[in-house]
Structure 1
Amino acid sequence: MSSELIRMLIIIAAIALFFAIFFSVIPVRLWISALASGVRIGILSLVGMRLRRVRPSDVVRPMIKATKAGLTISINQLESHLLSGGDVDHVVDALIAAHRAKLQLTYEQAAAIDLAGRDVLEAVRMSVKPKIIETPSIIAVAKDGIEVKAIARVTVRANLTRLIGGAGEETVIARVGEGIVTTVGSAENHKSVLENPDSISEMVLNKGLDSGTAFEILSIDIADIDLGKNIGAKLQIEQAEADKQIAQAKAEERRAKAIALEQEMKAKVEEMRARVVEAEAQIPLAISEALKKGNLGVLDYYNMENIKADTRMRELIAEEDDPDEIVG
């Protein structure tokens, strides 16, 4: 192989290597597409994106869409949002949708909403087409104690100005549930709630439940309403049972006190009987002592015994006779 042929092959390989490196570093086709779409961007800008580890297509293609839609956005804004961790394609789509729907949404607002973690495109769609949020079964109790179960459908529209820092769907559902519980609880009876379920919607809607949320509540409709347990009767039964147990406990306490008092009285009676027996046992000793000392004569002692015997006989006769005959 001649030296000239080798030199020619080296030149061809060098040229091929140069073009391979050139086209890998500089996205020429993307640059041509951008120019054909009216997007003015320099080759050096694309090279700079490569150096900053940014895929040029992730910035240029959304820029082409925005330019075609008549939006005024700079390449630097899109690249900065991408480097911040945002979704450039989503932001541009949201701006195009807002522009078509004639909604007031700036690039800064859309980028801030996207960086806040919210779906900015879905928010724009909700601004154009409201969303229906259905609450779970909400249980409330009217003044007559009857349980009322209600399911509400809340029609909301996204509020683009309050998406950043505004509360989400969970807060709306919680507030609507609280409003339904309060409204039903203020009703005199469950019949009035069943007859006018729209009154619940009106009262709840007038409470301004969308304050501080990312939504604007358009309507609240009661989708289903049903009756549950008689909570009032159940509470009365439980209260009556509790009162019964309290009364039984107090009666048992009084019974225990009465038994204790009876036992105490019996003990006192037995004590008194014991004292009487003890005293009676002392009588013969006293009589004997009196006879010894001459304080009591023998005849006096016999007279006393006769009186005692006579008294005992009279008592026995009185017990045997009819009380009516004795009175007669």
Structure 2
Amino acid sequence: MEISIFLLAGVIILITVFFYFVPFLLWISARVSGVRISLLQLFLMRIRKVPPQIIVRAMIEAHKAGLKAVTRDDLEAHYLAGGHVEKVVHALVSASKANIDLDLKMATAIDLAGRDVFQAVQMSVNPKVIDTPPVTAVAKDGIQLIAKARVTVRASIRQLVGGAGEDTILARVGEGIVSSIGSSESHKHVLENPDSISKLVLKKGLDSGTAFEILSIDIADIDIGKNIGATLQIDQAQADKNIAQAKAEERRAMAIALEQEMKAKAQEARAKVIEAEAQVPQAMAEAFRSGNLGIMDYYKMRNIEADTSMRDAIAKPMKKDDK
């Protein structure tokens, strides 16, 4: 009894392993759908660690859509390269129905480049609208304008590999808006003719080198911002005022320093005069002792000093208290 149970369990395990490595039901589904594939090929897919379900479903979808160029080897190679087989086949079927020129080689290259090839085909059929963030620019009259735009783009299948993405489109459109507003003589002209921005930006060919084709650029909203010109003039006036104050303070400090220097020199001169006056009596005494100065000469000198003091007193104006 126990032997029969073990035998039955072994048979079940063997059958499970067999149907895992040889997906018989999947082979029947492929044959019924008209896809020619052998059990040996399905078995080898298991050995190569390629899911047979993904490959067979993709081959059935391609066969039903009439895509004869899609082969099993190509799908296996794309899966082993890390690609998304299902998305590639979906994209090929959609492109075929929409009459878009897309072959398997290009589709697999786009997928391996990291882009969603199926979404790209959908964008080729149904263009996408991208809203730009607020773009701030200043017209020549100094008035700031804040503009928002809506960019309608369509995926360019041939430029998806190596082409720039949406961020580049937004950056170029923002640059074009800034250039258009900045070249306007007045902000009123921009407000009156917002389509002039769109026309000027479209002429620049902003979609060159990108994975998209710009169909239209529409200005959704324009708001008036600050008066940048007046603000700059106020800032310049304040800066000039600060510079003038700094220079005035510098001149005042130099004047104070010069005044202090002159006072110091005057004090030094007075000190020298006092020192010289202190040496006069000594010189006179030495002159008396040496006989170079007589008594009459001394009295004449004193008379001159008295006469000089009197003249100074007469020359000074009289104060009110002296009257």
Tell me the amino acid that sits aligned with residue 44 of structure 1: L
| Match among 259, 262, 277 for residue 262 of structure 1 | 259
SS at match of 1:136: coil
| Match among 126, 130, 133 for residue 127 of structure 2 | 130
Tell me the amino acid that sits aligned with residue 272 of structure 1: A
Residue aligning to 1:25: 21
Residue aligning to 2:64: 68
> Which consecutive residues of structure 2, in runs of 5 or more, have no partner in the other structure?
none
Tell me the amino acid that sits aligned with residue 63 of structure 1: M
User: For residues 306 and 40 of structure 2, what CA distance do their matches in structure 1 show?
Assistant: 148
Residue aligning to 2:164: 167
> Which consecutive residues of structure 1, in runs of 5 or more, have no partner in the other structure?
323-328
Residue aligning to 1:40: 36
| Match among 145, 149, 152 for residue 146 of structure 2 | 149
User: For residues 271 and 16 of structure 1, what CA distance do their matches in structure 2 show?
Assistant: 124
User: For residues 255 and 293 of structure 1, what CA distance do their matches in structure 2 show?
Assistant: 56
Indicate the percent of aligned positions where both proteins have the same amino acid: 62
SS at match of 1:86: coil
Change (3 A) 1:39 1:283: same
Residue aligning to 1:115: 112
SS at match of 1:280: helix
User: For residues 143 and 221 of structure 2, what CA distance do their matches in structure 1 show?
Assistant: 17
Change (3 A) 1:109 1:284: same
Residue aligning to 1:319: 316
Change (3 A) 1:42 1:246: same
Residue aligning to 1:310: 307
Higher mean Cα deviation, 111-120 or 139-148? 139-148
State the Cα deviation string for residues 139-190 of structure 1 (Å, max 9, x = none).
1122222221111111100000010111111111111111212222222232
State the Cα deviation string for residues 61-116 of structure 1 (Å, max 9, x = none).
11111111111121221222222221111111111110010000001111111111
Residue aligning to 1:51: 47
Residue aligning to 2:87: 90
User: For residues 10 and 169 of structure 2, what CA distance do their matches in structure 1 show?
Assistant: 67
State the Cα deviation string for residues 207-263 of structure 1 (Å, max 9, x = none).
111111110111111111111122222222222222222222222222111111111
Asked whether 1:241 is paired with 2:238, we answer yes
Tell me the amino acid that sits aligned with residue 30 of structure 1: L
> CA shift at 1:12, angstroms?
9.2
Give the TM-score, by structure 2 length: 0.89
Tell me the number of residue pairs that the alignment of Structure 1 and Structure 2 aligns: 317
Change (3 A) 1:78 1:292: closer
User: For residues 180 and 198 of structure 1, what CA distance do their matches in structure 2 show?
Assistant: 11
Residue aligning to 2:213: 216
> CA shift at 1:53, angstroms?
2.4
User: For residues 12 and 244 of structure 2, what CA distance do their matches in structure 1 show?
Assistant: 105
SS at match of 1:148: strand
Residue aligning to 1:78: 75
User: For residues 12 and 288 of structure 1, what CA distance do their matches in structure 2 show?
Assistant: 152
Higher mean Cα deviation, 162-171 or 239-248? 239-248
Residue aligning to 2:178: 181
Higher mean Cα deviation, 240-249 or 303-312? 303-312
User: For residues 320 and 115 of structure 1, what CA distance do their matches in structure 2 show?
Assistant: 109
> CA shift at 1:13, angstroms?
9.0
Tell me the amino acid that sits aligned with residue 97 of structure 2: R
Change (3 A) 1:162 1:290: same
Change (3 A) 1:287 1:229: same
State the Cα deviation string for residues 11-68 of structure 1 (Å, max 9, x = none).
9999877765554433232222222222122222222222222222211111111111
SS at match of 1:176: helix
Tell me the amino acid that sits aligned with residue 32 of structure 2: A
Tell me the amino acid that sits aligned with residue 62 of structure 1: A
Asked whether 1:140 is paired with 2:151, we answer no
User: For residues 268 and 12 of structure 1, what CA distance do their matches in structure 2 show?
Assistant: 126
Residue aligning to 1:325: none
Change (3 A) 1:185 1:287: same
User: For residues 118 and 45 of structure 1, what CA distance do their matches in structure 2 show?
Assistant: 30
Change (3 A) 1:52 1:299: closer
Runs of 4+ with deviation above 4 angstroms: 9-22
